[in-house]
Structure 1
Amino acid sequence: MRTLWRFIAGIFRWTWHLINFVRELILNLFLIFLILIGVGIYLTFQNNVSMEIPRGALLVDLKGTVVDSPAVNNRFRLLGRELLGTSSNRQQENSLFDLVDTLRKAKDDKNITGMVLQLNDFVGADQPSLQYIGKALREFRDSGKPIYAIGDSYNQTQYYLASYATKIYLSPLGAVDLHGFATNNLYYKALLEKVKVTTNIFRVGTYKSAVEPLIRNDMSPEAREADSRWIGGLWQNYLDTVAANRQLTPDQLFPGAADIINGLKAAGGDTAQFALNSKLVDELASRPVIENQLVKTFGWNKTNNNFNSVSIYDYQPQSPAELGEEIAVVFVNGPIMDGPQTAGNVGSDTTAEQLRQARLDPNIKAVILRVNSPGGSVSASEVIRSELVAIRAIGKPVVVSMGGMAASGGYWVSAPADYIIASPSTLTGSIGIFGVINTFENTLDSIGVNTDGVATSPLADITVTKALPAEFSQMMQQNIENGYKKFITLVADSRKMTPEQVDQVAQGHVWLGSDARKNGLVDQLGDFDDAVKKAAELAKLTHWQLSWFVDNPSLADILLSQFNVSIHAMLPAMIQSMLPAPLNSLAKAAAEQPGLFNNLNDPQHRYAICLTCGEVR
């Protein structure tokens, strides 16, 4: 009886806590809504008022990630997330192109006398984005202005940017965490067998490993060989760049695990001293000591009680008006799905409409398609590709600028361009197709549930509660094979290759941009600046301005976005704290698994997507 009473009391207590949580959440959301309305009215009146920039450092205090196209590209985004607290800072998204533009303006601003990189809250970016930011940092440093990196510790991504600094400071109890790259996926074959789920796979491509988690308990030898090639290339590119910045050789920068252990032992286990001995940093210093040195360089600000500086989020210099005809910039940023765009995904209808607008606008003379996508739905990719073909047909040049990845469906939409530019570290190719249909007849049978009925044809009797008819499976495989033939044919036609030549570098094989250039899949190695120059050259423009096709969300969209960020920042920790330790660890691992199968909506169940392209750690 006592145990029963405790159980009932526990349920009542948790229910009461939940009711209180919902009540407080609704009240807080309403308060945030009112605050943001007030802020919006204020900014409307202040929008044209130039901000006086103090003479001192540009403080690059990046928070969260850097992406091509943030989900919310609006000044309210930063204010909203600050209002929701620092717990969501690490989920903040920053525009790569806004960041680089800001760094370049600071280079020419006489009030900005140097730069301070404060990267403790910087989560990361793909390697081509880091290279593009690094290019802007190098330009700033080459102008004669110093860059100082300060940090309690540096992870690999943070250290990549810090390596461009004139001087790197590290806390005496800090570390520089260089360890290399790795990919890891969860494999579900044994689990699916235990719950008696039947996974029907249809695919083409020796290296098309996206479906392996459903049909294997480990990585196939073919996938291991392919992934080892490109991940090794990514790591070498990282070492070459950072070592050159620090005036070291790649072997000095990362001598290998055994030598690192020996060096750490020689430093008495002191990771900070090891970093200093290895010339990874220039000085070990506490925050007060670093602050005093920065004050000597940039002066003291009595108002802020700190060295003279302006945060990169507050730095808004006036820009001269751009003149000339327009070059449209359209983003394909994320998995490609059918329908309208949703947060984190590319909607084929939305992107196609943006391309159509660029095609019909007489002021737009060229189009840059910025692709940073692992692919997705075949039908959605084709909708976007057909619009690019239509743009070329009326004489407007199309240039593709590849970001961190333009693989599978990402390459499908890139293929028809007049010119393709990729970073040496871009992951591209992965030309292959697969289909996945799960059925649950055995699962239902194990609990005593069965499905039966009549049909006029085996092709009409398709349901997830029954095994797939053999006739449908045959048709599905033929459809996948036909899709693969279309894929390599459209690539062959666009790249002036034969289907046989494309097939040799296809089969789902992932290539680094440098290898893709050798294989004829891209035209040039470079960055977004090179894409702009090429688009202007092909359109024969001497003066131009960029027209960015980005969503301008409503206030309601912004509130919902901030609400979602806040929930994701709070709820996982609350829920995971209730789980036993082993389940807690498993939940975290599952949360990190790529969401390949969350939004699959191709009407013919055909997908061209690279699962491992975005999972490098």
Structure 2
Amino acid sequence: MRTLWRIIAGFFRWTWRLLNFIRECILNLFLILLILVAVGIYFQLQPKPAENLTKGALLVDLSGSVVDKPSVNNKLRQWGRELLGASSGRLQENSLFDLVETLRQAKTDPNITGLVLSLNDFTGTDQASLNYIGKALREFRDSGKPVYAIGDSYNQTQYYLASYATKIFLSPQGTVDLHGFATNTLYYKSLLDKLKVSTHIFRVGTYKSAVEPMIRDDMSPAAREADSRWVGGLWQNYLNTVAANRQLTPAQLFPGAGGVLQGLQAVNGDTAQYALKNKLVDELASRAQVERELTKAFGWDKRQNDINAVSIYDYQPAPQPTNTQPQIAVIFANGAIIDGQEEPGSVGGDTTAAQIRQARLDDKIKAIVLRVNSPGGSVSASEVIREELAAARAAGKPVVVSMGGMAASGGYWISTPANYIVASPSTLTGSIGIFGVVNTFENSLDGIGVHTDGVATSPLADLAVTKALPPEFAQMMQLNIESGYRTFLGLVATARNKTPEQIDQIAQGHVWLGVDAKSNGLVDELGDFDDAVKKAAELAKLPAWQLNWFVEDPSFSDLIFSQMSASVQAVLPQAMQAWIPAPLTALATAMKQQPGLFTTLNDPQNRYAFCLTCGDVK
């Protein structure tokens, strides 16, 4: 018996030592990674000499997405991309305004003789941002400098930018993937029924479809009709712009699914030949052939063993002289609107209101441009921002709203105090409506034998997610939602000089493209960020000005941990997906891409002005 216990004790002792060894190895690996990240950040933040480029191309090797306001320092993302490769880079966020400013400075830089668009790792952005980047590319090309687009293949977003090029190269085995736009949303009423979850919906607005996934298993006819209108409008805007760039008609650019099939049959299914024959690209060339063409245009750098070019991430144009001109504040509302402080990828009501207040109290700031790119969110947080913006306007500082890809629901709510609203023709806006959702789990718990009981001084006090919703609270909630909707209508009506009844006819949660919003009187002008800035200067009577960008720099610890997070995201999913069944992987991906379902919406009254489908166009 003693021998048996000795064997058992020895087994557990060695098992414990093995676990300690594994734990120490993992902790040491994380420590080494942390040290590498910290050292890399230190060297990345050190001042560098200007890039030694005599003459050559600006290589726009975009990696990742383009957003109004990146959540992480661009330089650190670039360092992570160089350390971990393209998989990390595809998680990178690039600033739209930094990109456009760089292109405009390169246009007048005598050392930059042309531009090369290398878009293989560009994952996308909204159509309004694409149009703004395209404007800068057009300005560059109109300066007389050539623009080349190179790619193994082009998806729709990549091809939009490539269409601005003087010449488009495509790999002989590549494709230009034009197929149209679609939205797809997960509907899970049956799942909630199976789980015996009681979903209580309170809403106003025929087209307020944000709650439909919880109460239906498919799209309602009203939502289908509304979404078909704006999705079709987005696609037509895409075709018109790209076709004009390629000197084609929209029908030539995309002859429909039948026309594409006929064209592919004519070239025996060769997608590259189809693109060349239909003038989607200018030349089919391998990477070696493209390199020879670019060498003729820009020369060869023997030291780098590559063409004479500098990456857009390394390009350092001459610094702009400082001045003491009056300022126009640029404040961002980028992402879902939540109560409290800002979180990465969201708009914090308190954070944004504090920035507006700071601009209001700063005598050097003479006007405010609020850049809105948001599907909305919390009604409470939206009102906090709106009130502060109204106070700035009342203080005599003109407020101009520049709408990006979307300024819907709460995004439009915060825009109402503006003196002037500028939207892109492709902006998704409107969606004027409110809803509330309360889930209770009394039936789910009942199924496993768990019950809740107690006493309360009134039905309104007897609220718990483990009990049925009191009828009195449900009635009160619906009244609250209806009151909020009337408030929303009143705010819009006052701002747009219309009656609430007139606004109600174009509200009801209806999503509008910018061009339709203009005809309906919801915005003042179709344009871009430049137009908004010019209007702010005009209203403030400023002959000259400088922009004051309200972008907070993250702390050093934030930078380290955000970079570590990007590194883990870049490496871990691929390793784990091999162990996960394919159907579960597909479901997880779809749920992750579902906008709004898993965001931190935290309105204290459970009231939301949110457009679920606005960010779900593929």
Q: Specify the alignment match of 1:139 in structure 2.
A: 139
Cα distance in 2, alignment partners of residues 34 and 357 from structure 1: 33
Q: Specify the alignment match of 2:88 in structure 1.
A: 88
1:413-452, aligned counterparts within 5 Å?
413-452=414-453
Note closer, same or farther for the CA distance 1:173–1:24 as it changes in structure 2 (3 Å cut): farther
Contact 2:336 2:599 in 1 (8 A): no
Q: Specify the alignment match of 2:153 in structure 1.
A: 153
Is 1:396–2:397 an aligned residue pair? Answer: yes
1:368 counterpart letter in structure 2 = V
Q: Specify the alignment match of 2:502 in structure 1.
A: 501
Contact 1:81 1:562 in 2 (8 A): no
Cα distance in 2, alignment partners of residues 64 and 441 from structure 1: 44
Number of residue-to-residue matches in the alignment: 603
Is 1:611–2:617 an aligned residue pair? Answer: no
Measured after TM superposition, the shift of residue 593 of structure 1 is 1.7
1:406-417, aligned counterparts within 5 Å?
406-417=407-418
Measured after TM superposition, the shift of residue 24 of structure 1 is 5.5
Aligned residue for 2:209, secondary structure, equals coil
1:152-551, aligned counterparts within 5 Å?
152-323=152-323, 324-551=325-552
Aligned residue for 1:210, secondary structure, equals helix
1:550-569, aligned counterparts within 5 Å?
550-569=551-570
Residues 317-347 of structure 1, C-alpha deviation per residue, up to 9 Å, x if partnerless?
Answer: 1133253100000000000000001111111
Cα distance in 1, alignment partners of residues 185 and 599 from structure 2: 16
Measured after TM superposition, the shift of residue 495 of structure 1 is 1.0
1:35 counterpart letter in structure 2 = V
Cα distance in 2, alignment partners of residues 378 and 18 from structure 1: 49
1:301 counterpart letter in structure 2 = D
With normalisation by structure 2, the TM-score equals: 0.95
Cα distance in 1, alignment partners of residues 596 and 257 from structure 2: 32
With normalisation by structure 1, the TM-score equals: 0.95
2:79 counterpart letter in structure 1 = L
1:385 counterpart letter in structure 2 = R
More divergent stretch after superposition (504-513 vs 587-596): 587-596
Aligned residue for 1:386, secondary structure, equals helix
Contact 1:322 1:544 in 2 (8 A): no
Measured after TM superposition, the shift of residue 308 of structure 1 is 0.5
Note closer, same or farther for the CA distance 1:61–1:402 as it changes in structure 2 (3 Å cut): same
Contact 2:430 2:517 in 1 (8 A): yes
Aligned residue for 2:414, secondary structure, equals helix
More divergent stretch after superposition (96-105 vs 594-603): 594-603
Measured after TM superposition, the shift of residue 113 of structure 1 is 0.6
Contact 2:77 2:89 in 1 (8 A): no
Contact 1:66 1:95 in 2 (8 A): yes
Contact 1:73 1:551 in 2 (8 A): no
Aligned residue for 2:457, secondary structure, equals coil
Cα distance in 1, alignment partners of residues 63 and 607 from structure 2: 37
Cα distance in 2, alignment partners of residues 572 and 76 from structure 1: 21
Cα distance in 2, alignment partners of residues 83 and 15 from structure 1: 30
Q: Specify the alignment match of 2:55 in structure 1.
A: 55
Residues 239-269 of structure 1, C-alpha deviation per residue, up to 9 Å, x if partnerless?
Answer: 0000000000000000011111111011111
Aligned residue for 2:473, secondary structure, equals helix
What percent of counterpart residues are identical? 69
Contact 2:37 2:563 in 1 (8 A): no
Measured after TM superposition, the shift of residue 590 of structure 1 is 2.0
Q: Point out where structure 2 has 5 or more consecutive residues left out of the alignment.
A: 1-11
Is 1:29–2:29 an aligned residue pair? Answer: no
Measured after TM superposition, the shift of residue 561 of structure 1 is 1.1
Contact 1:53 1:315 in 2 (8 A): no
Cα distance in 1, alignment partners of residues 217 and 22 from structure 2: 39
More divergent stretch after superposition (321-330 vs 14-23): 14-23
Aligned residue for 1:547, secondary structure, equals strand
| RMSD of aligned residue pairs (Cα, Å) | 1.8
More divergent stretch after superposition (554-563 vs 364-373): 554-563
Contact 1:576 1:587 in 2 (8 A): no
More divergent stretch after superposition (333-342 vs 560-569): 560-569
Measured after TM superposition, the shift of residue 17 of structure 1 is 11
Cα distance in 2, alignment partners of residues 129 and 322 from structure 1: 28
Is 1:107–2:107 an aligned residue pair? Answer: yes
Note closer, same or farther for the CA distance 1:229–1:241 as it changes in structure 2 (3 Å cut): same
Q: Specify the alignment match of 1:4 in structure 2.
A: none
Contact 2:41 2:76 in 1 (8 A): no
Cα distance in 1, alignment partners of residues 43 and 531 from structure 2: 38
Cα distance in 1, alignment partners of residues 265 and 32 from structure 2: 52
Structure 1 ranges of 4+ moved more than 6 A? 14-18
